[in-house]
Chains A and B, each alone.
Chain A
C-alpha cells in the first residue's frame, strides 16, 4: 500500500502536468529508443562474435602451422631465425600487430612489433606465461585488450613445453565495423523517432482533439451554458461519448427550463404567502392590542378580587401576589415575590411542601391541584389562620405556573363552629325534650290513673258512706284526672309534631277530609250535619301531619256547630296570592275577632269548657304543622256567624302584603 502510494503520486503529478498527447508522444519516443538500442546491442554483439570467431580460426591455423617452426628455433635458441620468421608472418598477415616468443620462465625472447608507423606501440604484456613442469602441454588461450586479440599458444618439442608464442591481432576492423553499425542505427533511430512523433501528433489530433472539444463542451455545460450543442467528432468511442454528453445537455436544458418555471411559480407563491403574512401580522397586532386591554382588565380584576391570588413556579417560588393576598398575609409584594411559598405555611406544611411539589412533578398526582382544600396558613406576624385553597396549574411556553386562590376562612370557620355549637345545644335540648316527653307520658299518667282508679274504687265500694255530695266530688276528681290525661296527650302530640321529620308526598286532601267527616259523623250519629267537601283537592305535604290539621279543623267545626239545628261544614279551596288557600268553614258559634290573637296559642280557649269542651291545643298544633310546611294559617269569624279557617301549604307571591295576612300575622305573633 505504501508502495502503491509512492508510485501513484508521481504518476498522478505527471498526468496532471502533461496533456494526453504529450504522454503519448513521450511514450512512443521512449519505445522506439529502447527498441533501437536493443537492436544495436544485438548487432554489435553479433558482429563481435563473428569477428572473434574468425580471428580464432586464423589463430588456430597460425599456431598449428607456426608453432613447430617457432619451437625448433626456440629449442636451438636461434633468435635471429625466430625474429625473421616472425617478421615474415607479420609481413604476410597485415592484421597481426605483434608476435612475441617467451621462454619457459615467461621472459621475452623475441618481441616483433607491428606495422610501420606505430612500431612504438606496445601491444600486450611484456611477460609471457611461466611454464611449469606440471603445466599441461597444449596451452592455448585468447585474451583481449582494447585494441587487440592476444592468442597465446605453447611451443612444444617432444611433447615438452619449452616456451610460448603470442600473436596480437589488430581489432581495428572490428571497431570500425561497430562504429559503422552505431552510426547506422543512430540514423535509423532518428528517423523512427521523427516518424513516431509525427504519428503521435496525428493520433493525438485524431483522438485528443475531439476529447478536448468534448472537455470544452462539458466545461460549458458545467458552467451552465446549455445552449451550444456538443459536436460529435473523432473516433467511435469519442462520438458515443459526445452523443451521451449531448443527450445530457438536452435533458439538463429541459430540466432547467422546467425548474425555471417552477422557480417562477414558487416565487409567486412565496410572494402571496408574504402578503398573507403581512395581513395576518396586521390582524395579530389588532388582537395583541385587544389582548393587552383584556390583560390589563384581568390584572385589575385580580387586584380587586376579594380572594388572595398567588402564583408560584414549578419550584414553589412566588411569582406574583394580588392586593388581597398582601392584606391577607401581611407581606408587601417585594417581601414575598421570589421567596418560597412555604413562607406562608405553618410548620408541618412548610417542611412537606417541597416534597409535595417534587412528587407532583414526577407523578402528576396531587391532593391539592384541581381541588378545594381547607388548610392552615401563616401570616407575616406568625399567626396561623384557616384558609380555603384552590390550586390550578397553567402551562405557558413550556413553563408551569401554579395559581392559588386563597379565601380567608377565619370568619366562616368561626360562624361554622358557632353553628356547630348551636346544633349541639339544640340536639341536647331536643334530647332533653324527648326525655321530658317520655317522662310526662309515663310518669304523669301513672298518678292520674291511681287517682282515677281509686276514686272509682271508692264510688264502687263506699257509695253509701260517701253520700250524694261525696260521690259528686269523686266524680269531679275522676273527670279532672281524665281531662288532665287529655291535656298531657295533646301536649305530647304538639311536641311530637315539632320533632317529627317531614315526609313530603302528594296528599289527597279531599279524601282525608271525607274520611274524617265520616268518622265524626259516626261518633255522634244522632246529629244532622251537612258536609260539603270539594273534590280533587291535593297538594304536596306530609300526609300524616295534614291529617292532624284537617282532623283538628273539622272536629272543631263539628264541635262548635253542636248547637246549630242545621249545621253546615264545608271544605274547599280559594286562590290566595297565587297559591291555593284551603279552608274549613262552618256556621257554628264563631268567635270574636278581638280575641283572635289567642286563637292559635297552646291551651288558649275562647269558649268556656262548660259550653264547648277541649284543651286548646288543637289550633296550636294546626299552626305548627302549617308553619312546618312553609304555609300560613288564619281565620275569619264573628260571634254566632260561624268561622272560616284558611291555610296554605306554600308561601304566596306577595308574601305578607295582604290585609288578611296582616290581620292574621298580628294574631300569630300574639
Chain B
C-alpha cells in the first residue's frame, strides 16, 4: 500500500485518534492526511490556503468524510469535489453517526461512493475500518488520474 494516501476529514480529535488507531490496528499503513474542517479539506485537495503549492497531481486514494463539520459541512465538501474536474471521480466514503434516511439519500444524491454508519463499539468500528481499508485500498480499482 505504499504511495497510497487516505484523506480523513474529521473535526473531533477523539474520533480522529480512534480512527487512526483503528486504521493502525487494521494493518493499514498508508499515509493519512487529516483535515479538521471542510475548508481545510478543500484547501488540501485544490492546493490552496495552507496547502498552496502542494503537488495536486497527488490525490487521496480514498477520502473518509464526516458529515458534521465546522465552517463547510461534509455535504458541501462532497458537492464541491464533484463539481471540480480534478476531484469529481475520487472515491469518497461518508462516515457518519446518523442513520437518518434523509442524510443517507442526500449523500448518495451528492455522489458519495459509500455511506458508513460508525458503530459505538470500538471493536466493531475497528472491524469496519479494516474492511474499508481492505476494500478501497486494495480491492477497488481507482479511476485513473
- Residues on A lying within 8 angstroms of B by beta carbon are 437-438, 441-443, 445-446, 448-450, 452-457, 478, 481-482, 484-485, 489, 492
Contacts and interface: CB of A to CB of B under 8 A. Distances in A.
15 contacts: A437-B100, A438-B98, A438-B100, A442-B67, A442-B96, A445-B120, A446-B15, A449-B14, A450-B15, A453-B21, A454-B14, A456-B122, A457-B122, A481-B120, A482-B121
Contacts of A456: 122-123
A450 B97 contact: no
A456 B22 CA distance: 11
Contacts of B121: 452, 478, 482, 485
A174 B122 CA distance: 190
A441 B18 contact: no
B122 A442 contact: no
A489 B97 CA distance: 11
Interface string B52-68: 00000000000000011
B113 interface: no
Given A449-B125, A452-B122, A457-B21, A442 B14 contact: no
Interface in B19-53: 21
Contacts of A445: 97, 118, 120
A448 B12 CA distance: 13
A52 to B, nearest CB: 159
B98 A441 contact: yes
Contacts of A450: 14-15, 18
Given A437-B100, A449-B14, 15 more contacts: A438-B98, A441-B100, A442-B67, A442-B97, A445-B97, A446-B14, A446-B97, A449-B18, A449-B118, A450-B14, A450-B18, A452-B121, A456-B122, A457-B122, A482-B120
B143 to A, nearest CB: 31
B99 interface: yes
5 smallest A-B Cβ distances: which pairs?
Answer: A485-B120, A453-B122, A456-B122, A453-B18, A450-B14
A449 B99 contact: no
A485 B117 CA distance: 13
Contacts of B123: 456
B98 A449 contact: no
B120 A449 contact: yes
A441 B103 CA distance: 11
Contacts of A478: 121-122
A492 B100 CA distance: 9
Contacts of B14: 446, 449-450, 453-454
A450 B121 CA distance: 9
A489 B100 CA distance: 11
A438 B67 CA distance: 12
B37 to A, nearest CB: 16
Interface of B: 12, 14-15, 18, 21, 67-68, 96-100, 118-123, 125
Contacts of B119: 449, 485
Nearest to A457: B21
Given A442-B68, A454-B18, A457-B21, A449 B100 contact: no
Most chain B CB atoms below 10 A, which of A438, A441, A453, A489: A453
Most chain A CB atoms below 10 A, which of B12, B123, B125: B123
Contacts of B68: 442
Main secondary structure of the interface of B (DSSP, over half): loop
A449 B128 CA distance: 14
A452 B14 CA distance: 11
A148 to B, nearest CB: 165
A492 B125 CA distance: 21
Nearest to B68: A442
A454 B16 CA distance: 12
A452 B119 CA distance: 10
A489 B12 contact: no
Nearest to B19: A453
A514 B43 CA distance: 53
A481 B99 CA distance: 18
A463 to B, nearest CB: 15
Nearest to B126: A456
Nearest to B98: A441
A381 B96 CA distance: 65
A481 B96 CA distance: 18
A450 B99 CA distance: 18
A453 B118 CA distance: 12
A441 B97 contact: yes
A454 B68 CA distance: 21
Nearest to A455: B122
Contacts of A454: 14, 18
Contact of A453 (B96, B99, B100, B125): B125
B99 A441 contact: yes
Given A449-B15, A450-B14, A450-B18, A442 B98 contact: yes
B60 to A, nearest CB: 23
Contacts of A449: 14-15, 18, 97, 118-120, 122, 125
Contacts of B67: 442
A320 to B, nearest CB: 60
Contact of A489 (B18, B96, B99): B99
A480 to B, nearest CB: 11
A489 B118 CA distance: 13
A404 to B, nearest CB: 50
A128 to B, nearest CB: 168
Contacts of A437: 100
Contacts of B97: 441-443, 445-446, 449
Contacts of A482: 120-121
Nearest to A489: B99
Nearest to A486: B120
A442 B96 CA distance: 8
A552 B27 CA distance: 39
Contacts of B96: 442
Given A446-B12, A457-B21, A452 B120 contact: yes
A240 B96 CA distance: 132
B35 to A, nearest CB: 18
Nearest to A483: B120
Nearest to B13: A450
Contact of B120 (A438, A448, A492): A448
Contacts of B98: 438, 441-442
A478 B21 CA distance: 17
A394 B14 CA distance: 81
Contacts of A484: 120
Contacts of B99: 441, 489, 492
B71 to A, nearest CB: 17
Contacts of B100: 437-438, 441
B127 to A, nearest CB: 12
